[in-house]
């Protein structure tokens, strides 16, 4: 069954701390994985894409990893800011189809 599972469901951290969000997938065939950030009441916005051959990619304070063998991805946020408070959604397209499989997201809250 094609699934994307994210953990934890929710996370509370203090401003300036680091955190790591996890995404496990069983989507086949697989070509890439995306992380989206969704502010409350807004539409999701793409943070990064991880293709099959990539292991690590950084974008400002966000670092994504992909292990295609274990079918796991992580999103590490460094030196968190209040503006990082949002839901982070892992999305995997089913290669060769129009379908995207969405995780349920991790709701991150950063406290001052």
Partner 1 sequence: DGGITQSPKYLFRKEGQNVTLSCEQNLNHDAMYWYRQDPGQGLRLIYYSQIVNDFQKGDIAEGYSVSREKKESFPLTVTSAQKNPTAFYLCASKSTGELFFGEGSRLTVL
CA separation for the pair 16, 23 (Å, rounded)? 23
For partner 1, the closer of residues 1 and 98 by Cβ is: 98
CA separation for the pair 108, 92 (Å, rounded)? 21
Question: Taking the complex as a whole, how short is the minimal distance between the CB of residue 48 and partner 1, in angstroms?
Answer: 11
Answer for which of 47, 91, 108, 110 binds partner 1 (CB under 8 A) is: 91
**Nearest in space to 92 (alpha carbons), one of 58, 59, 50:** 50
Contact positions vs partner 1 (CB under 8 A) = 4, 9, 32, 34, 41-46, 49, 89, 91, 93, 98-105
């Amino acid at each position: 069954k094609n699934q994307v599972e994210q953990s934890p469901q929710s996370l509370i951290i203090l401003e300036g701390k680091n955190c790591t969000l996890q995404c496990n997938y069983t989507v086949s065939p697989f070509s890439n994985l995306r992380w989206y950030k969704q502010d409350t009441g807004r539409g999701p916005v793409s943070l990064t894409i991880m293709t099959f051959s990539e292991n690590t990619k950084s974008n400002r304070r966000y670092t994504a990893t992909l292990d295609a063998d274990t079918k796991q991805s992580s999103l590490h946020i460094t030196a968190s800011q209040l503006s990082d408070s949002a839901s982070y959604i892992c999305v995997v397209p089913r290669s060769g189809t129009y379908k995207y499989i969405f995780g349920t997201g991790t709701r991150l809250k950063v406290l001052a």
